[in-house]
Amino acid sequence: MTDDTIAERFKRTNVEYSTDLQERIVKSRDLTKFVKSLSIPDIVVYPKNEEDVIKIVEFALEEHVPIVPRGSGHGSVGGVIPLKGGILVDMTRMNKRIEEDEDTITLEAGSPINFPARVYPTLWKRVTIGGNFCGGSWGIGSYMYGINWDQVIEARMVNPLGSVVTLKGGDIKIAAHAEGTTGIVTSLKVLKKPGYREEARIYLFGRLKDAVRAITKVYEESPPLYHLLLRSPQMSRLTKHLGEFNKWQLLIVYFSESEPEEKDLPRQSYVNGKVLWENRDMFFAGVYLKHFNEMYYSTVHVELDRMEGIMEKFKDEYLEVEFANDRLAHIDIMSNRPINFTLDNPFSVDDIKINSRLRRDHLQKIINYKKRYDKEDLFNPGKVSLEVFQ
């Protein structure tokens, strides 16, 4: 089918669209470097509301063409690349606040993260809430609150039958980090963070070993921290204006209303972390974006006791580790040369498929749903392998 015939037929939906070549190329890319695919969509479409999304899905089903949703394209794993062409659905015009109360907010999926989110990615100033829910996972705040989808109370989705479904409880994982393979999320109801003042400290360590020991103690004592992050001396060289430390920096952030007891924190000298915290958009992903043309990036999630060994291997590169309540260390690595992650790790991102990034129960939910409702594999094809045991 040529672009024009798709466009001709798509006109009947009355949804805004473009077949401009440059636009199709730009919209089919994200921040991935390891994927060399040049596939582009036949058409880019711009829904303004849920009714438009239903029309687009109905069109895709009638025409048997693939359909790939897109937020702001700041993912790092090729999630928005339409491997089999078809319709690329740009969600950024669906950006309305639907309702809000003291504890929750309901937003259209293309909305920016401009509310007090409990968990948010370093690139929160640029991304959409739907893109982060469908393509992200842990982030700032994960030490206290867990993964981003743990904060979601309800997700509305147009599923591969064209029906609007409201996912709640355990079913939220059908859409979370599914990259649109199970449907297009139209809105999310999420929990908000309380408006407490945040305090930040930076503990400094000459040796990685000592920093790791301090982190282990923090996990054992479980003080009420909001965020916990470790940066290498090399990383701070890339953000000199935020303070240059020739040491490992352990950033801890807590709510002033629940200051942790000193005995539960590292017994180590520390400095005020206000400047670093206020510039948290320049944590790892922000820095990577700034150095995008000369740097490569990879990330891996490992149990705490394996962290030190892996970091030692990469100690000359730029390292940052986010800690979450799942007791995994989420290690980000940036280098001037491609990083070949051949380590035997359960979770890593150097693969366009979501399989290596999710726990088995989560993946199984996505696969079951996809097998049941997307028999033609039209929803972001190529992003999930239907074999869970590989």
Ligand X SMILES: Cc1cc2nc3c(=O)[nH]c(=O)nc-3n(C[C@H](O)[C@H](O)[C@H](O)COP(=O)(O)OP(=O)(O)OC[C@H]3O[C@@H](n4cnc5c(N)ncnc54)[C@H](O)[C@@H]3O)c2cc1C
Under the binding rule (CB under 6 A), the answer on residue 121 touching ligand X is yes
Quick one: which H or E segment has residue 312?
A: helix 304-313
CB of residue 288 to ligand X, shortest distance in Å: 4
Under the binding rule (CB under 6 A), the answer on residue 160 touching ligand X is no
Quick one: which H or E segment has residue 362?
A: helix 360-373
Q: Which is nearer to ligand X, 204 or 354 (CB)?
A: 354
Q: Which is nearer to ligand X, 130 or 233 (CB)?
A: 130
Under the binding rule (CB under 6 A), the answer on residue 75 touching ligand X is yes
Identify the residue whose tokens are 């180590």.
Answer: 268
Strands (E), 31-141: 43-46, 67-70, 87-90, 97-100, 104-108
Fill in the per-residue mask, 224 to 263: x = in contact with ligand X (CB under 6 A), - = not in contact: ----------------------------------------
Binding to ligand X (CB under 6 A): which residues in 277-316? Answer: 284-285, 288, 297
Fill in the per-residue mask, 345 to 384: x = in contact with ligand X (CB under 6 A), - = not in contact: -----------------------------------x----
Residues shown for the chain: 390
The single residue among 28, 128, 159, 348 that binds ligand X, judged by CB under 6 A, is 128
Under the binding rule (CB under 6 A), the answer on residue 317 touching ligand X is no
Binding to ligand X (CB under 6 A): which residues in 100-119? Answer: 109
CB of residue 264 to ligand X, shortest distance in Å: 25
Task: Label residue 171 exposed, middle or buried (CB < 10 Å: 0-12, 13-18, 19+).
Answer: middle
Tell me how far apart the alpha carbons of residues 268 and 218 are, in angstroms, rounded to a whole number.
13
The single residue among 27, 55, 70, 189 that binds ligand X, judged by CB under 6 A, is 70
CB of residue 184 to ligand X, shortest distance in Å: 5
Whether 79 contacts 179, CB under 8 Å: yes
Q: Which is nearer to ligand X, 68 or 87 (CB)?
A: 68
Under the binding rule (CB under 6 A), the answer on residue 139 touching ligand X is yes
The single residue among 15, 43, 80, 174 that binds ligand X, judged by CB under 6 A, is 80
User: Residue 327 gets which letter from DSSP?
Assistant: S
Structure tokens at 148: 């981003």
CB of residue 127 to ligand X, shortest distance in Å: 3
Please give the distance of CA 278 from its chain centroid, rounded to a whole number: 21
Under the binding rule (CB under 6 A), the answer on residue 56 touching ligand X is no
Q: Which residues of 324-338 are buried (b: 16+ CB within 10 A; e: fewer)?
A: bbbebbbbbbbbeee
Name the one range near ligand X by CB under 6 A: 39-47, 69-77, 240-248, 270-278.
Answer: 69-77
Whether 90 contacts 82, CB under 8 Å: no
Cβ neighbours of residue 306 closer than 8 Å, sequence gap 6 or more: 329
The single residue among 65, 87, 127, 200 that binds ligand X, judged by CB under 6 A, is 127
Q: What are phi and psi of 132, to 5 degrees?
A: -70, -40
Tell me how far apart the alpha carbons of residues 373 and 387 are, in angstroms, rounded to a whole number.
16
Under the binding rule (CB under 6 A), the answer on residue 144 touching ligand X is no
CB of residue 342 to ligand X, shortest distance in Å: 20
Look at residues 289, 309, 308 and name the one whose alpha carbon lies nearest to residue 297. Answer: 289
Question: Which residues on adjacent β-strands are paired with residue 320?
Answer: 231, 332
CB of residue 132 to ligand X, shortest distance in Å: 3
Residues that bind ligand X (CB under 6 A): 30-31, 68-76, 79-80, 91, 109, 121-123, 127-128, 130-132, 134-139, 148, 179-180, 184-185, 284-285, 288, 297, 380
